[in-house]
Chains A and B, each alone.
Chain A
Amino acid sequence: MSILKEIDHGTPAITSTKTVSAKINGINVSVPDGTSIMRAASLNGIEIPKLCASDNLESFGSCRLCIVDYKDRSGFGYPSSCTTPITEGMEVTTHNKKLTHLRKNLMELYISDHPLDCNTCAADGDCELQDQASSLSLLGTNNMLKPTRYSSIKNDHLGQPVDSSNPYFNFDPEKCIVCSRCIRACNEVQGTYALSLHNRSYDTQIKPGISESFLKSECVSCGACVQSCPTGSLIEKTIVEKGIPDKTVITTCGYCGVGCSFKAELNNNEVVRMTPYKDGKANHGHSCVKGRFAWGYTNHVDRITKPMIREKITDPWQEVSWDRAVSFAAEKLTKIQQEHGIQSIGGITSARTTNEEAYIVQKLIRTAFGNNNVDTCARVCHSPTGYGLKQTFGTSAGTQNFDSVLASDVILVIGANPVVAHPVFASQIKKRIKQGAKLIVADPRRTEMVESPHIKADYHLPLLPGSNVPLINAFSHVAVTEKLIDQNYIDQRCDTESFNDWKEFISLNIHAPENAEMATGLNATQIRAAARLYATGNNSAIYYGLGVTEHSQGSTMVMGMANLAMATGNVGSVGCGVNPLRGQNNVQGSCDMGSFPHELAGYQPIENDKLRGAFEKKWQVTIQNKPGMRSLNMFDAAVAGKFKGIYIQGEDFVQSEPNIQHVEEAFQSMECVIVQDLFLTETASYAHVFFPATSFLEKDGTFTNAERRINRVRPVMEPISGKHEWEITQDLALAMGYQMNYSSSSEIMDEISELAPTFKGVSFDKLDKLGSVQWPCNDEAPEGTPIMHVGEFVKGKGTFILTEYVPTTEATNRKYPLLLTTGRNLTQYNVGTQTRRTANNIWGEDDVLEIHPADASTRGINNETLVLLRSRKGETTLKAAITENIPPGVVYTTFHNPETGANVVTTENSDWATNCPEYKVTAVEVEPAEHRSEWQINRAKKLEQFRQIRNP
């Protein structure tokens, strides 16, 4: 595909049931009432010159190039077509001699204050100022701006220094035309308000913050300003270095579960820019710093591009051919099974690969391995979501599309910090809040979601870690006892018996807010007020993250939220619902693909003979009819000597699992650990086989985001390793004696849609045609399902489930008086494998321990000094960050950096239903430290040994 230039209609689309008809240049046009003249013209193929207008921003009217004339106009000024709505019967002229003359004069004013250096400007050929000049014959040779009639005048803004402080883009003030698109993008699209106009009149200039550099300002580097800049003033460094792109490939971001669509833009077959795609249904042309800029890891020098093997983990790695690596792995696995039985090996599907790649790994395990020992990283994040929502609603996924939030009246965010973890969706939430929706945030920390410019949560409930269930039960108690429930909805949509049981249960006084004070640390009045707001706020929506699931009562909490939503009639329509914010690009997809030991693709129970039979027929094997081991069971079995081999597709257990030391022991007990990844991860230190994986830029397939949206991932280059990941798995299967004959990932999707009813209507052809679809996509919903459970729950009647609170055993005491909870920051992603290999490190690579000033001072801890963090499981050191954003008694850190080893201290406690680890609650003590912990020192030593690669 050549370069894709999206049409910019200049002003946002208007939703109105009323249509107006008018004439533009004699052409009849019909548009929704309220549409600007500019947009109406553009929709009818008439382009009106513009510089300050863009259809993702409210109209502004500053450049004046878009002036038009219309019949019976009064007054002497010409109206700007971006700010003037077209009205019934209007007869508009967009181009005539007079208008062209005035536009030319306006352009001369712009050019009189602009450098005449197009031939050395990085934006040459990709500049709206240049385009407009061209259409008004103001370009000279080499497409250079011509000197204007004002040329002898010296008063201009030239010669100002370029701000290159941001690692990804430059700001050159002399090229700025003060159209304010950057400011408006920052305010309206991103919601950060980092930029502003300084001074007035001719001295007006754009500045980040209060005359700070971009890097020092509040800028979050989402790139919206750069994208909106019509000149070369704000420009990506990659464009400056490598030139403007000549080719576009539409694909999907490989970071979080929002699943933003991007235009990968290439120059000479090399990616030079990732620009969010306007038609992307999850992101509508917006992005965050990770997807937009942090893709440099894909060709980082650390990347392993050749297969490697070794007999023992203490041996150096040896690069070998693909054939050798595959046969080495197959022989080892086969031998293990011969010696230790069929159950002695297993595998893990990745939440970062495509659906097709995940599917084929679980198929390999259920066929070539002959067991169901397959699990996926969702085990440690959203398995309670799958379980809880299936029990109550009948599906293991969120109920809404992202756009639904724009119809919400009350937004309840629990245990999630979308501003840093799902920034593009957070911008959408903020947009809605600014339109007047109410916000409740339940989080121990005062997160960025609680308060930011023009956003303030109506209620922030800083509950103690581990007390979600009493909180949600108190919400439901208030709704039921104050008669705020939607009895009609319940009668029609829900199972009466389960409701009556639940009603009796939740009405018990133990669930009253007053009795939740002790467990939650909250004030009952506040809980009541927030609960009333949720119950009575018309469209109330719940968005939640790992702060809900990663608890020993994770599944209870998910069901507690589902109960509340059903009781108040908030499931099955736009604007409400219960929605997990999923962490990884394809964590939803990996679950959908049958990656759990008890389920086949499309959540079909393995124990169901009929459903399993269909797979057996298709795959021509007998599949074991009992669930296999979960990942935690595999590790326990490994330590017990019963589990010896594992094939891990893209997951770094040794950093991301709780109680790392136990996991390390498990890996050291295995005989064949196969890691398929981009880099030598922490887990790869314990591997015997390394299969080099592909980055998202090399993949051909699909990702499924948190709203069940299946997006296409298209390769912009051939796999650097020489093999697609599905080919590796297929080869391994063959080497172990099971034949798969896929010639493309599209064929794999065809098989998925044949076997999984919810994917019945999905094919690459359809995705290419529609852009994306949300499952279920079948005969009833051939174009997918944006909102689930409309009219009826997937399981028929919604089921209320009793949600008794069983506190975690991980309690504080005198020795471990503080509660540690963990989370994310904006610029690092997950275990940091990718982001630590990008310039994002400029914003900090290290995890820090957030601690309240009171807790810090009683322990003699100073800001930014090293502290020892100790739990019953282990100890590590990191730097302290003293902040009042965390309540006394609670400490907080991220787990992005392996050196920190935050998971050395977390425990093996896990969700009672799904074994999702309790990352969010660990009793700890903190004290000043003088040196790194023993674990950290040992790790550094081991790394050196385990990561050696023998020179070929």
Chain B
Amino acid sequence: MTDQIKIYIPKETSACSVGSELIAEKITDLAQGHKHISIIRNGSWGAFWLEPFIEIEKNGNRKGTSYLNKKISHLSSIEELFDDFYNSNPFNIMDIDFIKRQTRLVFSRIGLYDPLDLNQYRNSHGYKGLEKSFEIGQQQTIDEIKKSGLNGRGGAAFPTAIKMQTVLDQESTIKYVACNADEGDGGTFSDRLIMECDPYSLIEGMTIAAYSVGASHGYIYLRSEYPLAKYFLTEAIKILKSHNLLGKNILGTNFSFDIELRIGAGSYVCGEETAMMESIEGKRGLVRSKPPLPAIKGLFNQPTLINNVITLASMSVILFHGKEIFSQFGSGKSVGTMPYQLCGNIKQGGLIEVPFGITLNEMIYDFGAGTFNEKPIHAVQIGGPLGFYLPAHLLNTPLTIEALMDLKGSLGHGGVIVFDDSTNMALQAKFAMDFCAVESCGKCTPCRIGSVRGVELIDKIYNGTAVKADRVLLEELCETMETTSLCAMGGMTPNPVRSIMKYFPNEMMI
């Protein structure tokens, strides 16, 4: 009997975007009739410059190589494929620095196997976190999260356990858990990777969260631009239901929990938690005022725990390994690991899960290997379209919540976008206002009208028709938007603009 050969072809959005589906088709054709060959559609390892990264496992030895720009259409047999593959210097992904240097806790399973393979998930500690939680009870679970130091990974970095405690303490008989999977920031993809490459870890985390606060129903609010994530979540929920890991009396306990997947309609602001709730309720995605806090009066006026995908997935890790797995790293608000997402003008873009504290320099050069086109770095935007721009001379800044706050910025959802010196920063400033002008929910005045006036003012500056008073007006507008907007959308839009005025004054001259 011939040894089993496994061929891994990633089924993940970035891999698919560079042809992994076509490769899968071709290889499936070639493997037809070869019973000892199995094709596994695994997730991505998050080393995007390698995609499509095809791996072959033979005699327990798993190696891979990038099939980017690699022609395989001419191959006529599986043997030819193997020859071609082994002639391309395949390597074990674990051996490259990009992966070796990471501390993958939350992303420990991505790329390893078929994300829907429940046996594999359970064999790699899957559902051990939930079992632990059931064992120690609701309050202990929250205490464990509290002591781990986990903060929300969606952008606001709010202490997760405080929200959980608030929801648990509400007397309502109906409570909800809502997973915010409306990952809309340009340059971010960590939520997507979890949902596409390890969906069970998110759902396990949600189940832990639901159990700990006493919620019986959960929603995942997924942006419509993630069709593959929708597929994986839909399938995962189906499979978990058939294995009694969702639904009534989970794992034989008294706890019942169901999850509904809700798809957004293309609105950025629906990632703002109150607008998200409106959208889940079937209404227009308009931001609600806080208070009341969602934890007290959230979805359908009931106490609701709202967390980001990574935050929830982290719960399974913390519960299984214990609080120290996070608390051993970092300090202050920046505790545990953080999945940074490196992109823009960069050689080696992808997901980088490391403990808080790494500097931009380390990230860009040690992991990213510098700019893609070798041009000097001019600016780095951190934290999505509403994040601030840092100039090259501040690349020694550690990527912690505190350090970035000191610079009047924020880490947000962990996106890092690299720009070279051909970038026109005035246009980047205009883009920030423009983004708000397109994506504002239209409720509050500073965001609804202010963003449009911002675009117009920056346009004047860019065209050289602005006068000094226009700059004063722009500064006042930024202050008004920042201090009077209803939500963070309008409130943070001035961040990139102000950082450009501060760090790139010559490019916003009047």
Contacts and interface: CB of A to CB of B under 8 A. Distances in A.
Interface of A: 59-64, 67, 76-78, 80, 83-85, 102, 105-106, 109-110, 112-113, 149-150, 153, 155, 177-178, 180, 196-197, 199-204
A155 B456 contact: yes
B267 A110 contact: no
B159 interface: no
A177 B443 CA distance: 10
A200 B442 contact: yes
Interface string B53-72: 00000000000000000000
B345 interface: no
B491 interface: yes
B289 A60 contact: yes
B420 interface: no
B446 interface: yes
Q: Which 5 pairs between the two chains have the least Cβ-Cβ distance?
A: A204-B442, A83-B289, A61-B289, A201-B440, A109-B449
Most chain B beta-carbon contacts within 10 A, residue among A61, A62, A76, A80: A62
B445 A112 contact: no
Interface in B78-110: none
Interface in B427-466: 436-453, 456
18 contacts: A59-B289, A62-B445, A64-B445, A64-B485, A102-B483, A105-B476, A105-B479, A109-B446, A109-B449, A109-B453, A112-B449, A150-B456, A153-B456, A178-B442, A197-B284, A202-B448, A202-B449, A203-B442
A76 B488 CA distance: 11
Nearest to A85: B291
B174 interface: no
Given A63-B445, A83-B289, A77 B484 contact: yes
A201 B480 contact: no
A85 B469 CA distance: 38
Nearest to B491: A77
B483 A62 contact: no
A202 B442 contact: yes
A150 B473 contact: yes
A62 B491 CA distance: 14
Contact of A76 (B438, B444, B483): B483
B64 to A, nearest CB: 44
A579 B453 CA distance: 57
Interface of B: 267, 269, 284-286, 289-291, 436-453, 456, 469, 473, 476-477, 479-480, 482-486, 491
B289 A153 contact: no
B290 to A, nearest CB: 8
Contact of B484 (A67, A83, A155, A177): A67
Contacts of A202: 437, 440, 442, 448-449, 451-452
Given A102-B480, A106-B480, A109-B449, A62 B437 contact: no
Given A149-B473, A197-B284, 20 more contacts: A59-B289, A60-B443, A62-B486, A63-B445, A77-B485, A78-B483, A83-B289, A83-B291, A106-B484, A110-B445, A113-B449, A150-B453, A153-B453, A155-B456, A180-B443, A200-B285, A200-B441, A200-B442, A201-B438, A204-B443
A110 B449 CA distance: 8
A132 to B, nearest CB: 12
A300 B484 CA distance: 52
A61 B486 contact: yes
Contacts of B439: 200-201
Nearest to B450: A109
Contacts of A64: 444-446, 484-486
Contacts of A204: 442-443, 448
A106 B446 contact: yes
A12 to B, nearest CB: 15
Contacts of B476: 105
A364 B491 CA distance: 74
Question: Does more than half of chain B's interface fall in helix, strand or loop, or is it mixed?
Answer: helix
A120 to B, nearest CB: 23
B497 to A, nearest CB: 15
Nearest to A110: B445
Contacts of A61: 289, 443-444, 486
B484 A78 contact: yes
Contacts of B436: 201
Most chain A beta-carbon contacts within 10 A, residue among B269, B444, B447, B476: B444
A76 B448 contact: no
Contacts of A83: 289-291
Nearest to B485: A77
Contacts of B437: 201-202
A197 B283 CA distance: 11
A352 B467 CA distance: 69
B344 to A, nearest CB: 26
Nearest to A101: B476
A40 to B, nearest CB: 15
A85 B441 CA distance: 24
Nearest to B440: A201
Nearest to A177: B445
Nearest to A87: B291
A74 B202 CA distance: 32
B456 A200 contact: no
B480 A149 contact: no
A69 B54 CA distance: 59
A609 B436 CA distance: 83
A106 B448 CA distance: 11
B483 A77 contact: yes
A281 B380 CA distance: 63
A153 B484 CA distance: 22
Contacts of A84: 291
Nearest to A82: B289
Contacts of B447: 201
A109 B480 CA distance: 10
Given A85-B291, A201-B437, A112 B485 contact: no
B289 A76 contact: no
A200 B267 contact: yes
Contacts of B479: 102, 105
Given A64-B445, A149-B473, A200-B441, A155 B485 contact: no
Most chain B beta-carbon contacts within 10 A, residue among A77, A102, A204: A77
Given A76-B482, A77-B484, A150-B456, A199 B442 contact: yes
A178 B482 contact: no
Contacts of B445: 62-64, 106, 109-110, 177
A84 B469 CA distance: 35
B342 to A, nearest CB: 29
A275 B284 CA distance: 31
Nearest to B286: A197
